[in-house]
Amino acid sequence: MADVWTILLVEDDEDDYLITREFLEEIPGRKVDLRWVDNYEEGMELINAGGLDICLVDYRIGGHTGLEFLANVKASGIQVPMVLLTGVGQRDIDVAATEAGAADFLDKSELSSTTLDRTVRYAIANAASMTALAEKTDFLETTLENTGAGIAAFDAGGTLTMSNKLFATFIDRLESNFLRNEPKVTLEKLAALLKVDLSETASVTCPAGHVFEVRLNVVPSGGAVVFVLDITEQKAHEETMIQARNDAQAASRAKSAFLSNISHELRTPLHSIIGYSDLILSETDALNPKDCAGQIHESGMHLLSLIESVLSYSKLESGEYSCNVERIFELDGLIKAAVAKVASAASRRSVTIETAIDPQIISLFGDQIALRQIIVNLLSNAVEFSHEGDTVTVSLHGLENGAVSLCVRDQGVGMDPEKVDNIFTPFVQLDDSLDRSHEGTGLGLPIVNALARHHNASVRVETAIGDGTAVFVTFPQSSADMQPLGTQQVGT
């Protein structure tokens, strides 16, 4: 409280002003700066100017009333405490003044220094308390709205008493207008809406995909507070981390399996090379050196193929691979060269390889070595998984949009369509046991996929268990040089 009270008196009767001033001056230990105006307009000017501790206003101010004065001050947002001075027998006016926001009212007939001292002290102190309370309330409301969490308070009976905007937003995501349409929101109704047990921390997923964590804290004095946190990004991050961990573990398992498989693949031809070399060194009469040399050559070529696959993929993975693109006109020769590479394996399994090239295709723009490797890898897989006596077809045909599709189709064992994506993962084989029935490093199709990407081509697989497999490598329109034909014919 200030040592000096700055008081505005709005009173149109000078005698009443003099009496009021006299009483104020008689208050012990208190200095008063009294400012008196006798009309409504000047009173409003002074109160708008500020610097006042309190305003005493008479009920009658010329053609206006003190209640009008109170209403205008309140509408202006001015926080100066107001005391209405009334005449005898005007209790109804006193009540109206209190309802209008007056801090107090005084009957002029009962004025005294003691009464004024008590009234002014109370009004100023109460105004200061209300200002402090308003500031604290504003601070709490601002804090509640900016905590980053939805908050709702429930009384001891479980009825909602307050909530912030984030809580309302959360509820609206579940059921629009629930808070506005529900006459009495309770913890029980909230739990039913959320479909969770509020006694435990729970996760709630909204129809739009947002994920919220809901937690209830019991208040010692009774009631509870419900906190809601939007954990959508956190959940997405957790899922990304889990997926990354699973991918890393899968890659680690795949590489471990690859090392086991490749060691098996390497041992088999090495045993053959060493075995036939020992026979040659033993100079056995029954030995046919040509047969031994053939077996050693075949095993050596198998080893070379394995090593080339690993090196090829290593270059592709490290980014060291570069395409030597050129216009390839001898497409028939390119395919025949690839067929020749797998002819021996096809012969051992009595598998026939047929070729077909669309006569519309004049040339294909690409790396000749890479394209041959794509075809060789696809043919090797097709032969490996074919039944004895089956036919494998490799074809090159034009599409309606001008693109070119290379297709290698077999009649073999096929595979589960749901597992097709796995075959493009490096080092992965659908059967990675050491006693599996088919050989290979698991790098054939990953290499095909990588080489296709170097040509802006896409790879697609059609397959079914027991119904064979077809792999399509589609090159973009810009890669092909086509000549228009009235009727498309395919030659063999």
Residue 97: both structure tokens together: 């003044």
- 23 vs 436: which has the higher pLDDT: 23
Per the prediction, the chain carries an average pLDDT of 83
Q: Are 196 and 212 in contact (CB under 8 A)?
A: no
CB count in 10 Å sphere of residue 8: 23
Residue 460: both structure tokens together: 């697609």
Q: Does residue 95 have a pLDDT over 80? A: no
Q: Does residue 432 have a pLDDT over 50? A: no
Q: Does residue 434 have a pLDDT over 60? A: no
Q: What integer is the mean pLDDT of 419-434?
A: 63
Same fold, 147-230 and 238-316: no
Q: Are 390 and 410 in contact (CB under 8 A)?
A: yes
Which residues on adjacent β-strands are paired with residue 449? none
Pick the CATH number of 147-230 from 3.30.450.20, 3.40.50.300, 2.40.30.10, 3.40.50.720: 3.30.450.20
| Tens-digit pLDDT profile for residues 113-141 | 999 999 999 988 888 888 888 888 788 78
CA-based nearest residue to 55, from 3, 103, 8, 113:
8
CA-based nearest residue to 21, from 59, 52, 56:
56
Q: Which residues of 142-176 are buried (b: 16+ CB within 10 A; e: fewer)?
A: eebeeeebbbbbbeeebebeebbebbeebbebbee
Pick the CATH number of 238-316 from 3.40.50.300, 1.10.10.10, 1.10.287.130, 3.40.50.10540: 1.10.287.130
Q: Which helix (H) or strand (E) holds 188?
A: helix 187-194
How far apart (Å, rounded) are the C-alpha atoms in residues 249 and 463?
28
**CATH of segment(s) 4-143:** 3.40.50.2300
- 488 vs 82: which has the higher pLDDT: 82
**CATH of segment(s) 322-482:** 3.30.565.10
Q: What integer is the mean pLDDT of 201-218?
A: 85
Q: Which residue has the tokens 């980014």?
A: 319
Domain residue spans in the chain?
4-143, 147-230, 238-316, 322-482
Q: Which helix (H) or strand (E) holds 408?
A: strand 404-409
| Tens-digit pLDDT profile for residues 404-418 | 999 999 999 998 888
| Tens-digit pLDDT profile for residues 244-293 | 888 888 777 767 766 666 666 677 777 778 877 877 777 666 567 777 77
How far apart (Å, rounded) are the C-alpha atoms in residues 343 and 20?
122
